[in-house]
Structure 1
Amino acid sequence: MKHFLEQVDRSARHIIFPILVILIGILILKQIDMYERIVRIYHACLPVLLGVVVAFFMQPMIDRVQLYLPKRLSVFLVYIVFAVIVSLLLVVLVPIFYKQIIECVKMLPIWLERFKNILESYHIPYDFHSLLERNSLKEGSMFVVDTLCSTFSTAMDYGVAYLTGFFISIDVEFWKHCIYKVFKNAHRFSTFYHTASKIIYQYLLGTFLDLLFITVSTWCILSLSGFPNAFVYALLLALLNLFPYIGASIGLVLIVIVALLSYEHFPFLPIFLVWLLQQLESNVIQPMIFHKTMDVRPILSFAFIFISDAFFGIPGVILSPIFAAIAQIGFRSYLHAKENDTVGKWEDIWYDFDEVMQEENMKI
């Protein structure tokens, strides 16, 4: 562990100077009015860069199918099946989600009226409520419009990226040959690639199963209890559950607030069942899926909220915990590949840093 920490310290010292050079370069580009042009070029190239990421994520599935089918047929099959599955999910879930969002918007006047009664019961001035009502409705409408525009723009980028990833996967052997010709330590890159792609594949599959379990279970509990727009809140709870430490609590608090504004008598039983489900998911289901509880560093999750927002907008913020986990897997896979020639397993990459530190302290 001491050697690992020394390696991290050396790596941190090596990247300080390049970061300073990049920051100074950005300042110089701003002064000579070149920064905006470079940003436009970046936005034009972003779908291609995303295509590289798509090809990276698809390759583990292609490798598995390629054991039984020819290479090109494997690529076609994986990309087509994945596109069909996503399309079917969108066809089934988007109408439900859209309908329930519309119902939520229709509920806003009722919620505002009940919120007004709460304010009056605590003798909060009515003018404050009127201002809040106007601002909430105005900003809420603008938020919905901006979100829809951002989502459509992001969907177009993803579509181009998906096609780019497909063409990269078709010629993946050519790119491998180029890497082996250009880089002397290509075997290290190969170890990193196979380790990262394998662990990321396991993580994404496990995360999908975890989200599916929470969404379906919460949806069933809230629907059977007559909770309004149960699917929206079930999906929101599942996505917030990705954020470490506070995400699950925030999701439950939102459901509690909606219940307070929607019911005359608070529904204690469904709220208790949702809380019980969260405990079951975090202590039983998640370790069972991943063979170990998740360990994304909190500061990494927090930083990727802003990074993902800058790259992908609102969808990026929602998926930022997944991006943070992938970044952590990539970094740990890189450290593994620097010292090992064998492809790493889940236990080698997704170790619990706090547990390792406790073991090291006990040895000392």
Structure 2
Amino acid sequence: MSIKATIIGDAAPETGSQLAPTRLDGLGAGGTEHAHPAPAIRPTVFKPTAMPGAVPVEQAGTPAQPTAIKPTTLPFTAPAHTPAVATAPAEHIHASTLPGTQRKPLEIAYETLALRFPGTAPKLLERARAVLAGVSPKAMDTAAWLAYGVQAQEELAALVKQRLALMESPATRGVSQHLARLHTLLREVLDAMDGGFLKKSVAKVWDSVAPEVRQLEGLLSKAGPALLGVLADMESLSNKNMDVGEVLQAHALAAEYLIDLLEAQVGQLLVTRLTALSTSQALVLEQVQTLTLDKERVQELMTLVQDGVLLQLPSVYSQLAGLSAKPSDTQRFMAAEKLNEIVQFIQRKL
């Protein structure tokens, strides 16, 4: 390989001179000369500059060691001394004395009452003993004595109102009104059978009243359950009256016992109350008797409806349906007999 010389500058090369190329050691040029191998490239290592007071850097590959920190010791300060709080000794609390009279009920033995009221039922004596246990004579004033037994009397008055309401209920009044109207309609048909120049025929009279008669029959057939409810209420009311009567009688016995025990002024008040309680007991007996009559009345209405009217009306329908404009004497007699039977039956019960 030939190397061409490069001329630098304006001077011309001399004629016949040869320029030898500059040889760099270690670099081979062509294959005519022996070239030495180039040395291997080594990295440049920079040594860090040590700063004063700095911690020397650990060499690579050396594991980091933990730095031990010495604990700081703080000076001990004793807490301020707090003086102990003195505890007051426990005081015993005594019950205060309030103005007034101590309420102390009466405790009367059963045997004492049995001797005072011989022949009285044990249950009634126990009730009287319970009444006395609720009485505190020293704590009761005039108003309290005048109110003695009033609550039982008020209960009796409420029971009287309930009895009146039962007898005026729609069930009892409705049945009576329906029966009265049915009696009137059937009586018109019966009167038409007597004949007469100005009277209508039986068939026309029956045709005019038959729709209302059937309507009344339907209303009466539905009245049975309502009447049974009224009977049950009357039975319950009768039991309540007897219970209130026993309460009133127990208060009366207790009042008789207190009259002999207390002073004259209180005894006079109890005499007044005893008279009122006796009157209320008489009213209880009257109530029970009246309720018994009321129950009998309702039972009669049920019998009249179920066993009388509802059973006899189908036979009346059958007899009147066969009447012609001019019925025979036999038809007239049989129909009149059935009508008269049911009319008289209703009339006796109303």
- TM-score for the superposition, normalised by structure 2: 0.22
- Compare relative contact order (CA 8 Å, sep 6+) and give the higher one, 1 or 2: 1
- TM-score for the superposition, normalised by structure 1: 0.22
- Greater helix percent: which structure? 1
